[in-house]
Chains A and B, each alone.
Chain A
Amino acid sequence: MSSLINSARAGARTRVPRFAEAAVERARLTVVPPRRQLGRTQAARTPFAVLVLVMLAGGVVGLLMFNTNMQQASFKATALQGQVNDLTAREQSLNMELDRLREPQRLASAAKALGMVAPAQPAFIRIGDGRVLGNPTPSSPADAVRINPLPSELPESIKPKTVIAKVPKKLQKTSGTDTPGTSTNVTREGGRKKASTQANSGATR
């Protein structure tokens, strides 16, 4: 293209006076080369469009996969959370069991079952010189401390009572033919019966 301009310039110099040469040079119109000849932009467009499409598709697919992944993670999180809850609950239950086993009351009952009692008098052996400090005394069952409360007393109202009914003298006279002591037998039996029914009702409860 530059050679073309140069040849035109050479032609012009021959016809135009020298002083106007610069102006002519400025005013000269040249034909713009057809767009097609610029072709390089046309050539660059296709890869660009492809690139955009690929990015779009990639984005959509990526987003979809990302979302799916998130969903998967969410399912997993729910499942794991459930597992965490289960395990926490189990740990706590085991800890509670441990607490129960370590409870002084339980240990004391176990020790008592083995026939142990708390020492009545503390005494020590000093490791350094082997001296015995305090009065070591073997403990006896009398030193035992009761670890369970006394059974609570029954309230008066449900204690079994023996009812003593006195037979009026008049009645005794009329039933004089009976063997003496019958009346007491009756009351005693009555009392016993009452006591036994109460004991029964207590047992069923």
Chain B
Amino acid sequence: MLPMARPFCTLLRSPGAVALWLLGAWGCAARPRLEVALPNPPHSDTMPIAEPGTRFVSEAYDLVENNFFDPLANLLDVPEHLGRARGRPREAANLNAWDDVEDSAWFEHRNGVRPMTPEEIVRGPNTGTGPDTSAPWTIVSGGAAGITPKFTIRDVRGNRYIIKFDPPDYPELASGAEMISTKLFYAAGYHTPENTLVFFDPAGLAIDPKVTVVERGLVRPMTQEDVRSLLRRVGRGPDGRVRALASKFLEGRPKGPWDYEGRRADDPNDRYEHQHRRELRGLYVLAAWLNHEDARQGNTLDMYVGEPGKGYLRHYLIDFGSTLGSGATVPHSRVDGSEYFFDLGNIMRRAITLGLYRASWEPVADRPVHPSIGHFTAEGFDPAGWKPTYPNPAFAQRTARDAYWGTKLVASFTDEEIRAAVRAAGYSDPAAEDLMLAALLARRDRILRHGFHIVTPIESPEVTYDSAGTLILRFEDLAVRYGLVAREQRSYTARLKHAAMVIERSTTGRVEADGRGTVRFEGVKLTRPLPAEARGRVATLEIVALDGEGRGRSTPPANVYLLLDPATRRYRVAGLAH
């Protein structure tokens, strides 16, 4: 296995480091804050690199690491605890000046920046129409590994696909979930495989002579009887054809899974620790929406894209069979998404109360809402309390800003776009489609109600001046835009600070008739000489949103960074942080 950079290893091997660490944390806490500086643009991660080796990680090891080692390491992360206690948690490392990420080998802005049409949502990552069914497929590898059978085929065009099946008692369950989640994760911006629903006649399957199976420890060629035996465990339609999901082999050469923690030492492009990447922290919100409880490194893949020595690693999310109401081989249970595999907090609560403690999922009925959907509803769904099966290091590091960023991704999906993704599942029963759509919409709305209240949700700030020289900041308030707060009920307090110019002014604002929030600073006069260095030219405009004429609850402030133009002696917007 190739090494990953792991902070916990350092902690374990060097007890003396703990003392230095604590001293460092104390030093950080005592140091005065620096002058505001805008972040540098994130590093590009698609530069040519030498072809890395392949990582191997076993599922059992991943279970132990994520359930025991990492939670312990997080518990001992004193600087992080101090920072959170002071309201200053460690923010994501790969941010640009707009509190966002640049397009990269991890993430590309799609629906959140330019709304996709329903047709584009349905097409998703697909560049074709799936495996060619005009000629028999040839099984080139695979067999009976896993509970649900799957194998790899090559079509007449020479493309390879992994063919995955649904559990016999739950037709369309896993394939439907995987289709919907693929479309939505892709449209949100993540890299996903090309997945296609296929219906085929198993009688037409050929077997490559090199394909073997292991029987009682002996390796022998695969036969048609092996295929028939394997397909007896999958369901069929009335016409005898088999429904399956065809997942096309990804472009490039596989280099093993990527971890949600640390960096890949053999990838020079991998400069940010994964748990501090915004797109992985913010993925929590999408994972909660789609109940991607199996978000662990076993369901990720690095692909080396390009010629040897000229390519780079592209980072994929793969295998969405355990999303929504599907647990791949069985429906999800009510506990999936509500409790970690080994949830120490709930364990202690039950132990202390002699088993009388009831977790939030326990009152929820544990039955599938539909055989093709499994257990997937908005009942009991808590956008901030949702949990993957294993504690995920990136999810655990998420801050309110990361969650807000993820909420914006979820909010970017309209009802019609979600309906289009659900249709891609090809449910044979319209009732299943309706139930799935209703659950996704209800969960999305809960996410919005939560995510647009944990920060001041302003976007697209712009500064103008009127003829009297009044500084006017206008912005879009997403809580107002999505109808979570009435326009008349929304107000703002704002404070302009520019230490280099000895300016500190406060004012209030409200939502104008055109729906945009507005604050005005009258009489901001720049009497001092302009500082020469760039840092001294940055001013901060802090905005707090209030519900209900200032008497309601307020949200943590958003900071709009203003840059003073020496020529015009006026400010312009240079950045934003929530």
Partners in one complex: no
